[in-house]
Structure 1
Amino acid sequence: MDEQTTPKKVRRVGSIAFALVLIAAGVLLIVYQFVPQFDLLKILKFSPVILIALGIEMLVYSARPDVKVKFDWLAMLGTAFTLCVVGTAALLPLAISEWGPARNYAQTRIESQKADAMYSALTPNPALKAKTDSLSVDVWFNHDTDGDYTLQSGDDCILDAALRGPYADAEVFAADCMAIMQAAADNNIGFTIYRFSADEDTDDGVSYYLDCVASYPAGLTAAQVAQRVQASYHYDNNSFSSEADRDDYIRRQLQNEISDEYADQHDGAYPDEKYLNEETERRFAERTGMATPESAQA
């Protein structure tokens, strides 16, 4: 007589975990609604426990010879969806705090107040105020605001100031920057970072830039601060990082110009190196306003 095979029971792994997640999610969301201080994000850090529960459920059923294990994919998808809902509920207040209209309004208000205060601070120095083409302020809240949109330790309040030149050199520019920083400090305006620029839109000249934290110039002279100033040299709608690069560009242009002129006047022949170099330096001095040996003796 043939032995009858007992059919195995089918157990779907994931159903219990899904049920536990639904219960936990409901409880957490209720508590989150009635206890404002409750940190739902910290609880969500323990979400890998769900994987442990699934693993235990699978081990228990697999150990039984009369059970056939299958994954309940619908329950697993429901678990993932529930976690997404709870995560969204936890992150939504944080998103509103970081990017909401209240934060933007507070930043705009503080920025406007700081800019007005800076213009007022420059009033006793009309010459420096006249050199100030524009002032703008950027505020960044780096602390955990929780609705407290006021400047606190660790936040950034950045002053961008565009000055009008021309400046004789980087030291003169640095002196004006230091004067503005001193005026801000004397009036307790509270900038943490300064960004200065001068003659940025010039076609043929020099632009100066200085970026520094508020404490940098303390105890330094204008000459020492000038060592941190960066310069950009402009010519023929091009910008160069150094005066030497700009001058090399001008000389190359002049050499091409002189060679073409000479060839036109001498039936296609080109000048020798001595003539080309001397004529290049003469025209370079004329173009840049530098004195040549001949003009110095005149």
Structure 2
Amino acid sequence: MPLTGPKQMFERAYKEGYAIGAFNVNNMEIIQGIMQAAGEEQAPLILQVSAGARKYAGQNYIVKLIEAALMDTDLPVVLHLDHGQDFNICKDCIDGGFTSVMYDGSHLPYEENIAVTKQVVEYAHARGVWVEAELGQLAGVEDEVSAEHSVYTDPDQAVDFVKRTGCDSLAIAIGTSHGAYKFTGEAKLDFARLEKITNMLPGYPLVLHGASSVPQEFVDMANTYGGKVGGAKGVPEDLLRKAATYGVCKINIDTDIRLAMTATIRKHFMEKPADFDPRAYLKPARDAVKNMVQHKIRNVLGCSNKI
């Protein structure tokens, strides 16, 4: 099945109160694990590629891996650019077959963010490609995206931004953050702010970045087998499920994939130190990704059997 855009996915998700998982991919095993999970759950998918992934694997490699995965499935799959840093990166991905791109100008002055987002929108829409933008800023570090403090999204500004840029979906800041260390105290999201934005932009799909839950089972496993992932704490899954009932149609998950793979590989190395065939430890790592993604689809996103 060919790649698709998010429009119909998001329309149904908004109407029925669930979210689509946007999972970051970097290599074959991650793609296979995600695809296997979604296949068993019969769930729509967004596979997203960050700037770091493009540097690590190369855009052409990742696109071809995803094309190979699509040969064995009839699932609807979106190929999305995560955190496009400028117009040229977005243009590259649009020209390279991506069906959705995110331009992240959240670090720029407001008017400059509007100007570049609008430029991306005009280029993308002329080619039938969806555009996600960001307003507000998430704290934390992920790949080349870094910010020391969160800047929560202003609801009035969000309405103005969407109107002036024509972007198709908007990533907002309500308390999530990038990376594995999201909260030091009680985990909470600003649902009052989210509800206000949703009410002011009725029917409009919102996006949560930095929404990994950092499962403690993988933190503990990594640390048990030689890791140093101390104090990692993510977004509780019940808060994410609640957000999906407030117009959040896309929830990004990256850190949880990294933790699942790394913890499983660490365990394998400690228990079977004689293994040197990469297939021996990448297969259980792939299975860990599959099981984690399947849990997210079924119990957090609520998008099982939604194709």
Q: Which of the pair has more CA radius of gyration?
A: 1
> What TM-score results when the alignment is normalised by the length of structure 2?
0.22
Q: Which has the higher helix share?
A: 1
